[in-house]
Chain A
């Protein structure tokens, strides 16, 4: 059965520092992987996805994610964090259907 794990409930990063939000997955076939962001009282917004091709995927707002097949990971990264990046981030995987992780709350400290 497919699954996705976000091991950190919360990540705190100082503004201007690089950030990483972790995600690992388990699927039976080739994974389709996604990152979404949710701001307070709003729906989820698509950031980026990996379907096939380059392991480094670039997305919206300067975010990128690296697909690592051997480690079954798809960590979200950004070289320099902004206070406005503070939000709830969801990793998702699609096998037969899309499953969301439990979310990681990212706090960027001014």
Chain B
């Protein structure tokens, strides 16, 4: 089945220690998103890629970076995690055009704990 996969599902890191979360998709979608979701809150968009074009949200801290080496993979790098960065990180994809316009398909998320 076509899907969005996130690894790992649970990640524990130490304060200030860089961490990378990964997302892969078999949907062949052009657009990939990274969201941060804190406990029972709305997902907050950090950035997205439209193909190779990177679009950063204005209020996303510089501590958060992303890479998309190819259509299938996208990475979220947190350079120096703080306690406030503990959250669920959601990856999503979408494909512009047609009946699927703007429908986002989410992965299961990676829950990040910062000690």
Contacts and interface: CB of A to CB of B under 8 A. Distances in A.
Which of A41, A98, A103 has the largest count of B CB atoms less than 10 A from its CB? A98
B45 A43 contact: no
Interface string A85-103: 0001010001001101111
A98 B33 CA distance: 11
Interface residues of B, number: 21
Nearest to A51: B101
Interface in B14-63: 40-43, 45
Contact of B104 (A42, A46, A103, A105): A46
Contact of B103 (A34, A42, A43, A88): A34
Contact of B102 (A44, A98, A102): A98
A49 interface: yes
Interface in A32-88: 32, 34, 36, 41-46, 49, 51, 88
Contacts of B103: 34, 46, 49
Q: What bracket does the count of chain A residues touching chain B fall in?
A: 20 to 34
Contacts of B109: 41-43
B90 to A, nearest CB: 5
B41 to A, nearest CB: 6
B68 interface: no
Interface of B: 4, 6, 40-43, 45, 88, 90-92, 101-109, 111
18 contacts: A32-B102, A41-B88, A41-B108, A43-B6, A43-B107, A44-B106, A45-B106, A46-B103, A46-B104, A46-B105, A49-B103, A90-B42, A97-B45, A98-B45, A100-B42, A101-B42, A103-B40, A103-B42
